[in-house]
Amino acid sequence: MAQIRRYQAKTITEALAMVRADLGRDAVIVQTRKVNQRILGVWKREMVEVWASDNPDLESLRRPPAPTALTATPSASPEHSSRIEQLENEIRNLKAMIAQLAQQGVAVVPERAPREPAESPWMSLLRQAEVEEEVACALLQSVAQDSLSESTLQSLIAARLATSGGIALQEAQPKVVMLVGPTGVGKTTTIAKLAAQYALLQRRRVGLITIDTYRIAAVEQLRTYSQIIDVPIRVVYSSNEMPAALKDLSQMEIVFVDTAGRSQRNSMQIGELKACCERIRDCEVHLVLSATTKTRDLYDIVERFSAMPLHHVIWTKLDESTAFGNILNVAVRYPLPISYVTTGQRVPEDVEVAEANKLASLVVGGAGAFAPAATPAL
């Protein structure tokens, strides 16, 4: 039985090549028309639709069972006959066109079925960067697609990445900055980097407190850094000891508080962090997140740590990640400005004040866009 099939392509040439590849040289074109195709429900694209049959005698038009939306009916009314005549003429013309195209060596599309419409290149770029579909759609919906370029997309992303600048020191009392976050994201290393930058490069009076006392190694890690940088350190075993430690460090301009990281699945421990934080006046809390963590886990982490006050986010391990959409996803969902990013294990070099444009260029360009600064600006 004759087959009638539908083909969609961007141009008539492409559509006819599909017909020829699928139904062979004797294929006849039953109908051609322009259609608007929606892509991801967002953009309309004009496509050419071709209905074609593999039966050169147009048998299919005269018999009803073709599984298509063709309007042809089996009746042989004069109207119907003239329509068929018209179609036959059209087909003759199109066959001639096909023959001509074949002679010109027009590329033949190998698939049997017509292809799905291609995803917009911007959408696939964002998908590759692991930007969530919802976030990507909202972003792309806000501009006309034809006016979009890579730099416009970068600006759109940058506009959604709130940054806070580095830690602002204050006159009167020590500024107390607490870093919280899951284990292994780089809290202690980041404190060492920041403490060294403030103490050695900016010549500020820096103190350290650790409440990460679950493992001796954790205390020793920060103590070693405090010796290298030559800054005082206090170890606090419970929130009650916090005021005394702060009093010891009251002459400092900035005090960093290091915390245990294995808490995001345990609300009791987040409760302990919160209790410590409450003993510190104007405690500024930076949630430390790794750029290598996938979006869903990041949401989970932020939710759990939200049991205590959070003011900023620090993104670590930018050097170890290849897709940075997760940074945008978190920024869109939670109103926490980004303070710093870290880009390697070197203390104190590998930390920078976060810049929205630079982060946006990472989202758009992937790891290739990242060039670590030789001398980080704090």
Ligand X SMILES: Nc1nc2c(ncn2[C@@H]2O[C@H](COP(=O)(O)OP(=O)(O)O)[C@@H](O)[C@H]2O)c(=O)[nH]1
Q: Which residues bind ligand X (CB under 6 A)?
A: 183-189, 261, 316-317, 319-320, 342-345, 350
Minimum distance from CB of 292 to ligand X (Å)?
Answer: 9
Classify 117 in phi/psi space as left (phi over 0), alpha (psi -120 to 50) or beta. Answer: beta
Query: Residue 87: CB partners within 8 Å, gap ≥ 6?
Result: 30, 31, 58, 61
- 55, containing H or E segment: none
Q: Which is nearer to Mg ion, 120 or 188 (CB)?
A: 188
Closest by CA to 270, choosing from 301, 296, 242, is: 301
Measured from the CB atom, is 19 or 287 closer to ligand X? 287
Q: Which is nearer to Mg ion, 51 or 225 (CB)?
A: 225
Taking the complex as a whole, the smallest distance from the CB of residue 318 to Mg ion amounts, in Å, to 19
Per-residue HEC secondary structure of 252-294 comes to CCEEEEECCCCCCCCHHHHHHHHHHHHCCCCCEEEEEEECCCC
> What order do you get walking across the sheet with 338-342 strand by strand?
233-235, 206-210, 254-258, 175-180, 284-290, 312-316, 338-342, 351-353
Q: Tell whether residue 239 is a contact of Mg ion (CB under 5 A).
A: no
Amino acid of residue 133: E
In angstroms, give the least distance from the CB of 162 to ligand X: 21
Distance in Å, CB of 225 to ligand X, minimum: 10
- The interface mask with Mg ion, positions 175-214, x = CB under 5 A, is ------------xx--------------------------
Question: Which lies closer to ligand X via its Cβ, residue 14 or residue 352?
Answer: 352
Residue 344 interaction partner, one of Mg ion, ligand X, none, beta carbon < 5-8 Å per kind = ligand X
Instruction: Say which entry of Mg ion, ligand X, none residue 243 contacts (CB below 5 to 8 A, set by partner kind).
Output: none
Q: What Rg value do the Cα atoms of the chain yield, rounded?
A: 32
- Measured from each CB, the residue nearest to ligand X is 186
> Are 233 and 222 in contact, with CB atoms under 8 Å apart?
yes
Report the residue number, 259 or 295, with the smaller CB distance to ligand X. 259
151 binds, among Mg ion, ligand X, none (CB under 5 to 8 A by kind): none
CB closer to Mg ion, 187 vs 193: 187
Amino acid letter, residue 325: G
Q: Kind and range of the H or E element at 53?
A: strand 43-53
Q: Which does 343 bind (CB under 5 to 8 A by kind): Mg ion, ligand X, none?
A: ligand X
What, of Mg ion, ligand X, none, does residue 342 touch, CB below 5 to 8 Å by kind?
ligand X
Cα–Cα dist 100/271, whole Å: 77
Judged by beta carbon, residue 45 or residue 223, the one nearer Mg ion is 223
**ω into residue 232 within 30 of 0, thus cis?**
no
> Which residues are near Mg ion by CB under 5 A?
187-188
